[in-house]
Structure 1
Amino acid sequence: MTATPRSPRLLLITTVVLAVAGGALLAVPHGQGAKVSVMPPSATAPTTPPPLTSTTPREPAGGGPRSTPTTSASAPASALPPHGEGEAGDPAIQQVLEKSWPADLPAEDERQMLTDGRALLRADATGIGRSKWPRVFGDSHQAVAPAFASARFRVQAAIARRDGSPTKAVVHLVWAGTDRGGTYTDGRITDLHFTRTIEKGKATWTPQPRI
């Protein structure tokens, strides 16, 4: 699998996740410990993410999905969980993504792509299940060794949206994982692209190889 090209949506989603780290910094007074609250369901998330501080992607050693790790950004501490919050902070990230990019796909199509997108990302990052996607990964026996351990891989949030055409869509995923060097990082970002095709007379969304 190769790197994902940058896109305006990828930069925007990067901003949202960067804000997770920034929220923690804003909420902790100098010399004191303070817990940042997770955004409640009734809270209103910002529809325009704050300015980006870093959008430089890096490739994990030994292959695996290319992602943009978080650094820091300005964001309301009450709206986003602190960096490193763990699973407790995932719902807040999901809520911010959904409010920043309103749904524009039929519910059934979105469910299919989210299910496939999560499975594809896990296969790409950990090597588990690559044989199910020969069109995406090619010969799984010749694939690059997985860059992340399966034990600590987790999709934190995901949305599926149209990608400039009724027959194209993209799944934005925010995820966490431990690389082969033992370093755990959350807030990683990957985009997976899908094309609407007709198979056996039925419309379906087919994942595209990452060029």
Structure 2
Amino acid sequence: MTTTPRPPRLLMLSTILLAAAGVAVLSVPHGHQPPTATTAPAAPPNPAAVAAAPPAPTPTAGTAVSATPTPSTPAAVESALPPHGEGAAGDPALQQNLEAAWPADLPAADQQELLTAARALLRADATGVGRAQWPDVFGDSRQAVAPAFAAARFRIQAAIARREGSPNKAVVHLVWAGTDRGGTYTDLRITDWHFTHTIEKGAAAWTPQPPT
């Protein structure tokens, strides 16, 4: 899928993730010297970035819903994030941090429906598994772009579903890890999937938006 420039809220999430990895590297002792405590400089959050309006949605890079960040300090947020390469052991801390940064604003049933769909969509997009069940999103599977990541080495690290400026719109923010076909492993990847609330045959449902 094509990638568009990341909007302010997505850039803010990327900055927090990268800052956390930097803090972990700086805290590693060198040689046989005893470890010394390091303190990450606390940079104030950017209110303008939090309130910025989202651009056109894409499944590989999108925007977060307008919501006020948690009152915790940036240093506290960074310390809750796992460093790159920690593996599944760091996923709960990452999930907790996302939930604290963007408080829930959807009914529990809607959140569950959105998270289930977005996880399946991301897996299908990255690995090719299950694309046939989303013809409106992926089109003709025979002409789809070849999957870039191996299904056996794909993992969703954290995910949250939030409103996106309207009761009838939502976005799911996902952080994930995977090994590409060349054998390169990367984690803390960020992908957003956008949905609209529709009524089909008398039943309400969240419909994923195709890439633009």
Q: TM-score range by the shorter chain?
A: 0.7 to 0.9
Checking the alignment, whether the CA contact within 8 Å between 1:162 and 1:170 is kept in structure 2 is yes
Structure-2 change in CA distance of 1:67 and 1:25 (3 Å): farther
| Residues 156-195 of structure 1 mapped to structure 2, 5 A cutoff | 156-195=157-196
Could you say if the C-alpha distance between residues 31 and 101 of structure 1 is closer, same or farther in structure 2, counting changes exceeding 3 Å? same
Question: Structure 1 CA distance, aligned partners of 2:60 and 2:87?
Answer: 21
Whether 1:7 aligns to 2:10 is no
Partner of 2:24: 24
Q: Give me the identity figure in percent.
A: 70
Query: Which amino acid counterpart does residue 201 of structure 1 have in structure 2?
Result: G
Mind listing any 5+ residue stretches in structure 1 that lack a counterpart? 36-45, 53-64, 69-73
**Separation in structure 1 between the aligned mates of residue 108 and residue 130 of structure 2, nearest angstrom:** 25
The runs of 5 or more residues in structure 2 that have no matched partner are 36-42, 50-58, 63-73
RMSD: 2.7
TM value normalised by structure 1: 0.77
**Aligned-pair distance for 1:9?**
2.5
Q: Retained in 2: the 8 A contact 1:4–1:191?
A: no
Structure 2 counterpart of 1:56: none
Higher percent of residues as helix: 2
| Residues 168 and 195 of structure 1, relative CA distance in 2, 3 Å threshold | same
What pairs with 1:1-211 in structure 2 (closer than 5 Å)? 1-31=1-31, 48=45, 66=60, 75=75, 78-211=79-212
Distance 1:131 1:125 in 2: 14
Q: 1:107: Cα distance to partner?
A: 0.7
TM-score (norm 2): 0.77
CA drift at 1:86: 0.2
Amino acid in structure 2 at the alignment position of 1:162: R
Instruction: State the distance in 1 between where 2:113 and 2:102 align.
Output: 18
Structure of greater Rg: 2
Q: Retained in 2: the 8 A contact 1:22–1:75?
A: no
